[in-house]
Each structure stands twice: as structure tokens, then as C-alpha cells.
């Protein structure tokens, strides 16, 4: 099992796909998982490995979503004594399964390095590549004419501007800096890649002409409205180095923002997908997919869904208590 998990983790890293490592670091019997038990949780919520069943899995899944979204690790405690001995730095949940044991689980997000993708070989693009690499970003350059002399710091160079197949492109930061070398083709390729951030190094006059062409190619107005143009934060930049600095500042700003604000007027897809229809267990407050929930009750004509039999049993004994708490 451990070799299988190691191979899966290596594969996800190679594909620049985010995932979570969950490790049981401590337990108080009786528990099904023991210290050293671990699992890999993929960005679509799939668990490979073992960190306990019943209440443990939905709790770890929920915290894995938060870890990927926030980029931070956390230590979880799942215990029947929740609320009686809170410890700083530990996120505590109530153990409602019949086993009644305690699990301490460390949840660690493994995120690929942020990636800047530059379409074109302009002076701004060359400076941006150096700056992004210095700041720890992976740099990919897409241009038929780019070489190691122009981009010695790039991690990868592609001889076309078709960026759609680049691993992790949806979460990348694309900058089109063609500056006269097939501006329309570069923008069309960038828009089709669907990144979280897209900037075009161009004047408003040029953008008006290029956006008119893109509209004629069937690009929706909403997609065009998400393009950052002029590129970069407004610092009165003139020289290529100043423009590159302003773009990098905007990328940092976008990266630190809520993903929902990644582009003007855009809604990014979450890193971890959830069911289109969800409910909240009123006992442990875990997210439950009604279509897959094995435990449910009806109270005052409303369906209530639970992550496990223990939560259902507690709710059925005193539903008003849990509804008041919720």
C-alpha cells in the first residue's frame, strides 16, 4: 500500500496536480486506523489509502478541501471529548461513531509551484521570465522563435503558442507578450487554454483591434472581459523592466486573492469539486451528498442527511437541539 501511495504521489507531482497527504500521528483506542496510517486525497476528493472510516473520512475530506483552497496544513483531532480539552493549533471534531476512540491526523496540501506561461518573446516577456523564476515560479515560454539565449531561466520552451495542453494550465498565470508577432493567434491560444489569470501586453488601441478579431472568431464577450489589459498594476511603467515588474505585482496580487476574484467578473472553478447538490450533517457539520448518503431522517417534512449512523442516532434522540445549534 505504501509503495502504491508513493507512486500515486509522484505521478500527481509530475502532472502538476495538487493533492493532500493525510497521516495518522496518534490514536487512543479503540480506532480502526493506527499511527502511521496514511492516505493520498486527490483534488477531486478521491481517497487512496486508509486513515479510518465512519466519521473520520468525511472530516478529513472536508479539511482536505480547505487545505488545498488555503494552501495550509492542519492537525485534526477527532474525539468523543470534543469541547472539553481544546488545544491551540488543533482543529477538533466530535467522534460520533460507535468506536468512541480518538484520532489525531495531520493534513498537508502538496501544491505544484505556481506557473507563469509567457506567449511571445518580447523584451517584457524576457524580463518577466527572469523575475518570475527569481520569485519561485515555474516559467513556461510558448513561441516558435524563443530559444535558450532569450529565455535562459525558463523551465520549458514550446515552439508553438498552443498552451492548452500544458500541465496545470487552468491554475496558471498567462501573459501574452507577442508585441506584433501574431497578437491575434497568441490571444486566441491563451483564451482557449482557460487560465485563472490572463494579461495582454498592449495598448488600449491595439486591444480594441485584437478583441474585435477575437469576437469574430466566436470568443464570448465575458471571456474577453476577463483579460487584464493593459497588463499589470498601474505604476506608470514605461520601460520593459518596469512593465514586467507591474505584471508580476499583479500576478502576486491575484494569487493571494480569493480564487473567486482571480479575474474581473469571473468565477473560478474550485480546486476540489463538490456535488452539485449538498447537505450539511446537523450533528458534525460535515458536507453530505444526498445522492450517496446512507443515513437520513425526516423531521417536520424535511429530509435531513447524515455522514454516519452515529450522527443519525444522536439527531433522532433530540432533533431540536441540533437544529438550534445549526
The confidence band for 260, taking pLDDT boundaries of 50, 70 and 90, is very low
Cβ distance 5 to 51 under 8 Å? no
CB within 8 Å of 74: residues ≥ 6 apart:
63, 66, 67, 91, 106, 107
Do 209 and 309 lie in one domain? The reply is no
Q: Is the pLDDT of residue 267 over 80?
A: no
Q: Is the pLDDT of residue 261 over 60?
A: no
On whether residue 249 sits in a domain, the answer given is yes
Task: Categorize the per-residue pLDDT at 258 as very low, low, confident or very high, splitting at 50, 70 and 90.
Answer: low
Flag whether pLDDT at 112 surpasses 80. yes
Average pLDDT over residues 118-136: 94
Q: Which among 93, 110, 127 is the end of a domain? A: 110
Domain membership of residue 147 (yes or no) is: yes
- Looking at per-residue pLDDT, the higher value among 221 and 281 belongs to 221
Residues 125 and 244 in one domain: yes
Q: Quick one: 143 and 198 in the same domain?
A: yes
Name residue, grid cell 505556481: 114
Domain check: are 173 and 128 in the same one? yes
* Helix (H), strand (E), coil (C) string for 66-101: HHHHHCCCEEEEEECCCCCCCCCCEEEEECCCCCCC
Provide mean pLDDT across the span 194-203: 93
Residue 75 has pLDDT above 50, yes or no: yes
Mean local confidence (pLDDT), 44-51: 89
Residue 262 has pLDDT above 60, yes or no: no
The C-alpha cell that represents 209 in the structure block: 483591434
**Residue closest to 316 by CA, chosen among 296, 302, 301:** 296
Which one has a higher pLDDT value, 15 or 238? Answer: 238
- Of the pLDDT bands very low, low, confident and very high (cuts 50, 70, 90), residue 244 is very high
What percentage of the chain exceeds 70 in pLDDT? 89
Domain shared by 319 and 193, yes or no: no
The cell numbers describing 51, all together, are 486513515
Residues 119 and 103 in one domain: no
What is the total count of domains within the chain?
3
Same structural domain for residues 15 and 142? no
**What burial class does residue 41 get, using C-beta atoms within 10 Å of its C-beta: 0-12 exposed, 13-18 middle, 19+ buried?**
buried
Is the pLDDT score of 323 beyond 90?
no
Instruction: Tell me: pLDDT of 117 over 70.
Output: yes
Q: How confident is the model at residue 276 (pLDDT cuts 50, 70, 90)?
A: very low
Of 54, 83, 110, the last residue of a domain is 110
Residue 267 lies in a domain: no
Domain shared by 119 and 251, yes or no: yes
Band (pLDDT 50/70/90 cuts) for residue 86 is low
pLDDT, the chain, mean: 85
Q: Is the pLDDT of residue 139 over 90?
A: yes
Contacts of 79 (CB under 8 A, 6+ apart): 28, 92, 93, 94, 95, 102, 103
- Please give the average per-residue pLDDT across 199-218, as a whole number: 93
Give pLDDT, residue 91.
86
Indicate whether 50 and 122 sit together in one domain. Answer: no
Residue predicted with more confidence, 325 or 134: 134
**What's the rounded mean pLDDT across residues 215-239?**
93
Using CA atoms, how far residue 302 sits from 158, 279, 296, 297, 305, in Å, is 56, 12, 10, 8, 10
* Co-location of 140 and 242 in the same domain: yes
User: Given the DSSP bridges, would you call strands 173-176 and 197-200 parallel, antiparallel or unpaired?
Assistant: parallel
Cell triple for 12? 500527481
Q: State residue 119's pLDDT score.
A: 95
pLDDT tens digits for range 148-159? 898 998 999 999
pLDDT at 2: 64
271 falls in which pLDDT band (50, 70, 90)? very low
Structural domain boundaries enclosing 299: 279-325
Amino acid at each position: 500500500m505504501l509503495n502504491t501511495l508513493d507512486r500515486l504521489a509522484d505521478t500527481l507531482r509530475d502532472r502538476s496536480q495538487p493533492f493532500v497527504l493525510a497521516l495518522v500521528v496518534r490514536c487512543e483506542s479503540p480506532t480502526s486506523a493506527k499511527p502511521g496510517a496514511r492516505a493520498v486525497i486527490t483534488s477531486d476528493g478521491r481517497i487512496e489509502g486508509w486513515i479510518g472510516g465512519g466519521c473520520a473520512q468525511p472530516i478529513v475530506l472536508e479539511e482536505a478541501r480547505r487545505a488545498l483552497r488555503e494552501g495550509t496544513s492542519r492537525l485534526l483531532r477527532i474525539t468523543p471529548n470534543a469541547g472539553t480539552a481544546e488545544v491551540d493549533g488543533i482543529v477538533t471534531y466530535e467522534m460520533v461513531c460507535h468506536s468512541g476512540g480518538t484520532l489525531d491526523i495531520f493534513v498537508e496540501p502538496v501544491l505544484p509551484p505556481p506557473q507563469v506561461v509567457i506567449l511571445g518573446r518580447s523584451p517584457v516577456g524576457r524580463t518577466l521570465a527572469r523575475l518570475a523564476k527569481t520569485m519561485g515560479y515555474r516559467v513556461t515560454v510558448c513561441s516558435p522563435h524563443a530559444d535558450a539565449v532569450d529565455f535562459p531561466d525558463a523551465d520549458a520552451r514550446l515552439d508553438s503558442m498552443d498552451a492548452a495542453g500544458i500541465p496545470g494550465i487552468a491554475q496558471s498565470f498567462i501573459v501574452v507578450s507577442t508585441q506584433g508577432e501574431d497578437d491575434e493567434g497568441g490571444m486566441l491560444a491563451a483564451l482557449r487554454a482557460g487560465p485563472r489569470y490572463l494579461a495582454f501586453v498592449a495598448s488600449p488601441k491595439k486591444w480594441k483591434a485584437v478583441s474585435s478579431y477575437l469576437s469574430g472568431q466566436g470568443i464570448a464577450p465575458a471571456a474577453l472581459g476577463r483579460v487584464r489589459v493593459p497588463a499589470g498594476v498601474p505604476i506608470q511603467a514605461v520601460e520593459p523592466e518596469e512593465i514586467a515588474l507591474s505584471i508580476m505585482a499583479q500576478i502576486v496580487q491575484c494569487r493571494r486573492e480569493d480564487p473567486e476574484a482571480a479575474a474581473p467578473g469571473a468565477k473560478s472553478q474550485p480546486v476540489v469539486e463538490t456535488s452539485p447538490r449538498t447537505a450539511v450533517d446537523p450533528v458534525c457539520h460535515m458536507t453530505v451528498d444526498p445522492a450517496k448518503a446512507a443515513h437520513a431522517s425526516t423531521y417536520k417534512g424535511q429530509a435531513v442527511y447524515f455522514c454516519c449512523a452515529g450522527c443519525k442516532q444522536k439527531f433522532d434522540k433530540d432533533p431540536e437541539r441540533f437544529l438550534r445549534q445549526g
